[in-house]
Amino acid sequence: MAQVLLEDVSKVYPGGVRAVNGVSLNIEDREFVVLVGPSGCGKSTALRMIAGLEEISAGTIRIAGRVVNDIAPKDRDIAMVFQNYALYPHMNVSQNLSFSLRLRRKFGFWRNPLGWMGSGEYRQRSVEEWQEIGRRVADTARVLGIEHLLARRPRELSGGQRQRVAVGRAMVREPKAFLFDEPLSNLDAKLRVEMRAEIKRLHRQVQTTTIYVTHDQEEAMTLGDRVVVMKDGVIQQAASPFDVYERPVNRFVAGFVGTPPMNFFEGRLIDSGGLLTFEDGDLRLALAMEHAGRLGRYIGQNVVLGLRPESLHADPAAAGAAKAMFRARIVLTEPLGDRTDVHAQTERNPHIICRVDARTRLREQEVVEICADMTRAHFFAAGAEGANLAL
Task: For the chain, give every domain's residue range.
Answer: 4-246, 251-381
Which pLDDT value is given to residue 18? 94
What whole-number distance in Å separates Cα of residue 133 and Cα of residue 104? 10
Judge contact between 383 and 305, C-beta under 8 A: no
What whole-number distance in Å separates Cα of residue 268 and Cα of residue 100? 61
- Residues paired with residue 179 on neighbouring β-strands, in sequence order: 80, 211
What whole-number distance in Å separates Cα of residue 228 and Cα of residue 28? 14
What whole-number distance in Å separates Cα of residue 360 and Cα of residue 372? 17
Residue-level length of the chain: 391
Judge contact between 126 and 108, C-beta under 8 A: yes
Which pLDDT value is given to residue 350? 93
Q: Are strands 66-67 and 234-239 parallel, antiparallel or unpaired?
A: unpaired
CATH classification for the domain delimited by 4-246, as one of 2.60.120.10, 4.10.640.10, 3.90.1150.10, 3.40.50.300: 3.40.50.300
Res. 15: pLDDT tops 60: yes
- Residues paired with residue 343 on neighbouring β-strands, in sequence order: 332, 353
Mind listing the pLDDT tens digit for each residue in 329-367? 999 999 888 888 999 999 999 999 998 888 888 888 999
Give Cα 259 distance to the centre of its chain: 14
Mind listing the pLDDT tens digit for each residue in 245-302? 999 999 999 999 998 999 999 999 998 877 899 999 888 999 988 888 889 899 999 9
Q: CATH code for 251-381?
A: 2.40.50.140
Res. 161: pLDDT tops 70: yes
User: Residue 310 carries which side chain, given as an amino acid letter?
Assistant: E
Which sign, positive or negative, has the C-alpha torsion 295, 297, 298, 300? positive
> Dihedral of the CA atoms 349, 355, 361, 362 (nearest 10)?
10
Res. 311: pLDDT tops 50: yes
Among the ranges given (102-111, 199-208, 259-268), the one the predictor scored with the smallest mean pLDDT: 102-111
Which pLDDT band holds residue 113 (cuts at 50, 70, 90)?
Answer: low
**pLDDT above 70 coverage of the chain, percent:** 93
Judge contact between 330 and 363, C-beta under 8 A: yes
Which pLDDT value is given to residue 70? 92
What's the chain's average pLDDT?
88
Q: Show the 3-state SS of the chain.
A: CCCEEEEEEEEEECCCEEEEEEEEEEECCCCEEEEECCCCCCHHHHHHHHHCCCCCCEEEEEECCEECCCCCHHHCCEEEECCCCCCCCCCCHHHHHHHHHHHCCCCCHHHCCCHHHCCHHHHHHHHHHHHHHHHHHHHHHHHHCCHHHCCCCHHHCCHHHHHHHHHHHHHCCCCCEEEEECCCCCCCHHHHHHHHHHHHHHHHHHCCEEEEEECCHHHHHHHCCEEEEEECCEEEEEECHHHHHHCCCEHHHHHHCCCCCCEEEEEEEEEECCEEEEECCCCEEECCHHHHHHHHHHCCCEEEEEECHHHEECCHHHCCCCEEEEEEEEEEEEECCCEEEEEEECCCCCCEEEEEECCCCCCCCCEEEEEEEHHHCEEEECCCCCEECCC
Question: The sheet that has 78-81: what strands, in order across it?
Answer: 78-81, 177-181, 209-214, 32-36, 226-231, 234-239
Which pLDDT band holds residue 321 (cuts at 50, 70, 90)?
Answer: very low
Res. 383: pLDDT tops 70: yes
What whole-number distance in Å separates Cα of residue 252 and Cα of residue 235? 11
Give Cα 323 distance to the centre of its chain: 32
Q: For residue 166, report the phi and psi dihedrals to the nearest 5 degrees.
A: -60, -40
Which pLDDT value is given to residue 322? 44
Which pLDDT value is given to residue 25? 97
- Residues paired with residue 171 on neighbouring β-strands, in sequence order: none
Res. 56: pLDDT tops 70: yes
Which pLDDT value is given to residue 82? 84
Which pLDDT value is given to residue 171? 86
Which pLDDT value is given to residue 64? 92
- Which pTM value belongs to this model? 0.88
- Taking only Cα atoms into account, the Rg of the chain, rounded to an integer number of angstroms, comes to 27
Res. 222: pLDDT tops 90: yes
User: Residue 33 carries which side chain, given as an amino acid letter?
Assistant: V
More confident residue, 246 or 202: 246
Which pLDDT value is given to residue 74? 87
More confident residue, 98 or 380: 380
Mean pLDDT across 202-214? 91
